[in-house]
Structure 1
Amino acid sequence: MDRGTVGSAQSGRLRVEVREEGASAVVTPAGELDHHTADLLREPLEGCLDKGFARLVVDCTQLEFCDSTGLNVLLGVRLRAEAAGGGVHLAGMLPAVARVFEITGAEAVFTVHDTVEAALST
C-alpha cells in the first residue's frame, strides 16, 4: 500500500495532518473546526483535490467541535470531489460532531464510516 505523509498545518485550536493511502488522501483534523480555523482544513483538502486525489477520507476521531463554517468547508470540498468522480468519506465522528451533521441533515450527503479502515476499504 502506498503510504506517505503529505503534510500538516497547525493553529492553536486545530491541527491538520494529511497522508496518502493508495488512491485516497486521509485528512485528519484535530481540535476545533470553526470560523477561525476553517481555512486550515480547507487548504489541505483542496490541495489534495488539486493533486488528483478525488477520494478523500476525513478522519474525525480527533475532531472535538465543528460549527457551520466547518460544515460548509466539508460540503464545498464534497462537491468538488464528486465533480472529479470521487467523494468525501467521514470516519470516526465523535458524538458532538456527529450531532451537528445529524441536526443539519448533512449526514445524508456524506458517506459516514465508523473507522478510517472501513472508509479506506470501500
Structure 2
Amino acid sequence: MVPEADNERFTVAVQHVDGAVVIELAGELDHDTAQPLREALDTAVVHGGRLLVDLAGLGFCDSTGLNVLLHGRLSALEAGGSVELAGLRGSVARMFRITGADGIFPVYADVADALNGTNGPRG
C-alpha cells in the first residue's frame, strides 16, 4: 500500500489490486481534510478504469467529502471508467442513504465482494 496522504484526522492510501485502483480512506473526511482524496481521485481518473473507494475505515463524511466523490465519479465516467464504493458503515452509510448517493454509486459490502464479483452491488 502506498500512502497518498497522512495526517492525524484522515488518511488516503492507494493500491492497485486485480485491475482496479483501490482508494482506502480512514478517519474523518470533511472540508479541512478533503484535498488528499481529491488529488488521489484526480490521479487515478487520468489512468481510467475501475476505481474502488473503500470507506470501511471512514468514521465521518460531510457534504464536502460526498461532493468530492461525486465529482470523481463524473470525471471517471467521462474518462470511460467508474467509481464504486465499498464498506459503507454507520453515520457514513446513513448520510449516503439520506442523500440518495448510495443509489448513484455501485455499493458493495466490502472490497473483497467488489473485487471477487461474488455479490453484486447493493443499493
TM-score, normalization by structure 2? 0.89
Counterpart pick for 1:19 among 4, 15, 18 = 15
Residues 53-86 of structure 1 deviation map (CA, whole Å, 9 limit, x = unaligned):
4311011110000000000000000001111222
Root-mean-square deviation over aligned CA pairs: 1.2
Matches of 1:79 and 1:118, distance apart in 2:
23
Determine whether 1:58 maps to 2:53. yes
Q: Which residue of 2 aligns with 1:83?
A: 78
2:14 maps to a residue whose letter is: V
Uncovered stretches (5+) of structure 1, i.e. residues with no partner? none
Matches of 2:37 and 2:9, distance apart in 1:
12
Q: How far has the Cα of 1:8 moved from its partner?
A: 2.5
Q: When the two structures are aligned, how many residues end up with a matched partner?
A: 117
TM-score, normalization by structure 1? 0.90
Q: How far has the Cα of 1:101 moved from its partner?
A: 0.5
Residue pair 1:64, 1:97 contacting (<8 A) in 2 also: yes
Q: How far has the Cα of 1:6 moved from its partner?
A: 4.2
Identity of paired residues, percent?
Answer: 49
Q: Which residue of 2 aligns with 1:38?
A: 34
121 and 83 in structure 1: CA distance in 2 versus 1, 3 angstrom threshold: farther
Uncovered stretches (5+) of structure 2, i.e. residues with no partner? 118-123
Matches of 1:97 and 1:87, distance apart in 2:
21
